[in-house]
């Protein structure tokens, strides 16, 4: 193990660029949605539940042939950690040589998880949102911040509206965003006012009950929901799910892991990879939901990008 290079959060941040990540992930999601001939192998993640401490440990292996990416992420998520001032998600990724199975790198998985999730939401938004000027963000944690950073980089965002169940969190994120990007930012005390004028909504919370329900929204609003990754948890109301065109990252993951999909019984229109392939329509003039569970293939592709970049640096 000592001979395997370790790449920490700073290496990952420096190596990964949202533009590159989006291009690589777009192709990998398309490969995944081709079925067996796409060259992606990805079982449903195995999740152990630590009931006593409200925690979860998930093992996420994947192989993406087109990227030469063979990896396994181990991620814990403990919602109660925020009260202890600890990260709620902790992750490591082990990358392997595809030809021999030799482990070739171990790296931080927290930054990768944040960046690749935001990059995948950006891909969904690129295809499914009619307009991308006004962004409403529900939540103020790691994913909320990463999504804002990615969306500001990738789209011409003009205004950002933020709501969090604890107003302090929203105020804190708003200060960071306005200092970093100089974009107009407003904090809202209720979800309904926050989303009313949005072109794109990001829901990135640890809620277990729906926080976004039917209310006044733009008719062609696009919603990315990245929270509620457990079959009993919901972030979006059943009514909202049933009155939207629902896209997912993986039909298998969504039907097994997403309370938003399972409890609402909403029809899944298709996978975002099928949209990229042009196999199903991007209904950008209607209300769309992209339900993201997070896929191992995304971590494998991101980890391979980091590894290649770091190896390249050694040669220069
Ligand atoms: N789809 C994917 O690929 C991925 C999904 N996720 C999921 O995304 C969600 C956000 O993750 P992340 O940002 O990393 O987590 P963080 O812990 O960093 O942030 C969680 C956010 O949710 C808020 N929150 C906590 N409890 C509630 C509640 N009961 N109702 C409403 N809001 C609440 C927190 O507010 P406060 O801090 O003020 O309490 C905070 O704003 C989680 O569900 C996570 O599991 C994570 C990684 C990948
Ligand atoms: O994809 C991922 O890493 C996760 N999704 C939900 C919790 C962690």
Residue nearest to atom 31 of ligand 1 (CA): 207
The CA angle 254-244-129, to the nearest 5 degrees, is 95
Run of H or E including 135: strand 134-138
| Top mutation candidate among 54, 75, 205 for ligand 2, by most atoms within 8 Å of CB | 75
Provide the mean pLDDT of the chain. 97
211 pLDDT more than 60: yes
Topology (CATH level 3) of domain 6-112+302-315: ornithine cyclodeaminase, domain 1 (3.30.1780)
**Over 70: is that where the pLDDT of 99 sits?**
yes
Please check the confidence at residue 314 and state whether its pLDDT lies above 90. Answer: no
H helices of the chain, in order, are 9-15, 18-33, 110-128, 142-154, 167-181, 191-195, 238-242, 251-257, 259-264, 272-277, 296-315
Structure tokens at 81: 């950690």
Q: Who lines ligand 1 at CB under 6 A? A: 77, 82, 88-89, 113, 117, 139-144, 164-166, 169, 204-207, 211, 226-227, 229, 292-294
192 three-state secondary structure = helix
**Distances from the Cα of 168 to the Cα of 86, 164, 173, 209, 271, angstroms:** 17, 8, 9, 21, 36
Q: Quick: pLDDT tens for 286-302.
A: 999 999 999 999 999 99
**Three-state SS at 34:** coil
Domain residue extents for the chain: 6-112+302-315, 127-296
Per-residue pLDDT tens for 9-66? Answer: 999 999 999 999 999 999 999 999 999 999 999 999 999 999 999 999 999 999 999 9
Q: Taking the chain, what is the end-to-end CA distance rounded to the nearest angstrom?
A: 26
- Whole-number Å distance between alpha carbons of 238 and 246: 12
Q: Would you identify the CATH topology of the domain 127-296?
A: Rossmann fold (3.40.50)
Q: What is the rounded average pLDDT of the residues 66-95?
A: 97
pLDDT, tens only, 153-210: 999 999 999 999 999 999 999 999 999 999 999 999 999 999 999 999 999 999 999 9
On the question of pLDDT at 2 being above 70, the answer is no
Q: How confident is the model over 230-275, as pLDDT tens digits?
A: 999 999 999 999 999 999 999 999 999 999 999 999 999 999 999 9
Q: How confident is residue 143, by pLDDT bands cut at 50, 70 and 90? A: very high
Residue 236 is given by DSSP the state: B
Q: How far is CA 29 from the centre of its chain?
A: 13
- Tokens 């049933």, residue? 242
The predicted pLDDT at position 34 comes to 98
At 9 the three-state DSSP class reads helix
Checking 165-173 for CB contacts under 8 A at 24+ apart, the result is 165/205, 165/207, 165/211, 169/140, 169/141, 170/140, 172/140, 173/137, 173/140, 173/144, 173/145, 173/148
* Position 1 pLDDT exceeds 70: no
Q: Residue-wise over 160-186: b if at least 16 C-beta within 10 A, else e?
A: bbbbbeeeebbebbbeebeeeeeeebe
Question: 75: Cβ below 6 Å to ligand 2?
Answer: yes
Confidence of residue 276 (pLDDT cuts 50, 70, 90): very high
Distance 133 CA to ligand 2 centre (A): 27
Res 313: pLDDT? 86
Angle between helical axes of 18-33 and 142-154 (0-180°, round to 10): 100
């Amino acid at each position: 193990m000592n001979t395997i290079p370790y790449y920490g959060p700073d290496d990952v941040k420096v190596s990964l660029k949202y533009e590159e990540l989006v291009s690589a992930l777009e192709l990998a999601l398309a490969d995944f949605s081709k079925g067996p001939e796409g060259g992606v192998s990805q079982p449903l993640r195995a999740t152990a539940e630590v009931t006593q401490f409200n925690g979860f440990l998930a093992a996420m292996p994947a192989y993406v042939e087109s990227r030469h990416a063979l990896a396994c992420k181990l991620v814990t998520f403990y919602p109660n950690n925020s009260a202890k001032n600890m990260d709620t998600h902790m992750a490591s990724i082990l990358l392997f040589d595809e030809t021999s199975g030799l482990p070739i790198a171990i790296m931080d998985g927290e930054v990768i998880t944040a960046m690749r999730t935001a990059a995948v939401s950006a891909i969904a938004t690129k295809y499914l949102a009619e307009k991308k000027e006004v962004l409403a963000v529900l939540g103020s944690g790691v994913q909320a911040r990463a999504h804002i950073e990615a969306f500001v980089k990738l789209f011409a965002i003009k205004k950002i509206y933020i709501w969090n169940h604890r107003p302090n969190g929203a105020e804190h994120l708003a200060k960071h965003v306005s200092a970093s990007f100089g974009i107009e930012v407003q904090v809202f005390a209720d979800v309904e006012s926050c989303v009313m004028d949005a072109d794109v909504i990001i829901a990135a919370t640890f809620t277990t009950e729906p926080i976004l329900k039917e209310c006044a929204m733009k008719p062609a609003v696009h919603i990315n929901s990245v929270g509620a990754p457990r079959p009993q948890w919901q972030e979006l109301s059943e009514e909202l799910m049933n009155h939207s065109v629902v896209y997912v990252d993986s039909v298998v993951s969504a039907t097994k892991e997403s309370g938003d999909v399972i409890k609402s019984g909403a029809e899944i229109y298709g996978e975002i990879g099928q949209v990229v392939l042009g196999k199903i329509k991007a209904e950008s003039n209607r209300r769309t939901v992209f339900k993201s569970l997070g896929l191992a293939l995304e971590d494998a592709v991101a980890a391979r990008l980091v590894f290649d970049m770091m190896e390249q640096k050694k040669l220069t």
